[in-house]
Amino acid sequence: MARQDERARQIDLLQENLQTIRKLAGWSIDDLGERIGVTKQTISNIANKRTTMTLTQYIAIRSVLDYEMREHPENEVLIKSITLLLDEEENLSKEDYGKLKESIDTIAAAAAGGAEKTALANMFSAVIDNAVMNIVPVTGIVDGSAGCLWLKKVLPTDSELPSAGRQKK
């Protein structure tokens, strides 16, 4: 049951931060929908919490985000924001996480307004308290072996799969 709780928590985190992350990536709602093969309306419904994000949608979105980070390592704000908001949030108190989220939301609004990446990076450095950065080391893009740690948090283990679906060795 603990793994299912972790899976639900990870999905909730992405759903809660989807609009912010999408803006930091420089994507419209249409862009994100096209990248994962769903309609603009589906993305809008997820982002506005009219529907709950599914595990499949979570995996698709995290996969395109991983690809985006690898293809555009210069977008450090996106990389650091994903790391802090989705991957390292358990290292922050609820209060620190709330302050961090509010700051990153402000930066995302500037990104959506057309601010340049350099200006966004400067804003990020200025508004993200050094204390948070000392608690959570943000190393940037991780290599392929560690890059899917998020996937390990949400995929079922062999023991969780129905026995009919498991292959015998």
Q: What percent of the chain has pLDDT over 70?
A: 78
Q: What is the pLDDT of residue 115?
A: 92
Average per-residue pLDDT for the chain: 84
pLDDT for residue 135 is more than 50: yes
- Kindly state the tokens that stand for 38: 């769903």
pLDDT for residue 66 is more than 90: yes
Smallest Cα–Cα separation from 22: which of 53, 6, 4, 3?
Answer: 53
Q: What percent of the chain has pLDDT over 90?
A: 55
- Kindly state the tokens that stand for 134: 């000392």
Question: Is the pTM above the cut of 0.75?
Answer: yes
Q: What is the pLDDT of residue 131?
A: 46
31 pLDDT band, cuts 50/70/90, is very high
Q: How far apart are CA 142 and CA 110, in angstroms?
A: 27
The CA distances from residue 129 to 19, 79, 122, 136, in Å, are: 22, 17, 13, 11
Q: How far apart are CA 169 and CA 155, in angstroms?
A: 20
| Helices 40-47 and 29-36, packing angle to 10 deg | 110
Q: What is the pLDDT of residue 143?
A: 41
* Least confident stretch, 5-9, 60-64, 134-138, 156-160: 134-138
Q: How far apart are CA 42 and CA 29, in angstroms?
A: 9
The CA distances from residue 86 to 13, 15, 58, 107, in Å, are: 6, 10, 12, 16
pLDDT for residue 112 is more than 60: yes
- Kindly state the tokens that stand for 117: 């990446």
Q: What is the pLDDT of residue 141?
A: 40
pLDDT, tens digit, for every residue of 1-19?
577 888 999 999 999 999 9
Mean pLDDT of 129-155: 56
Q: What is the pLDDT of residue 133?
A: 57
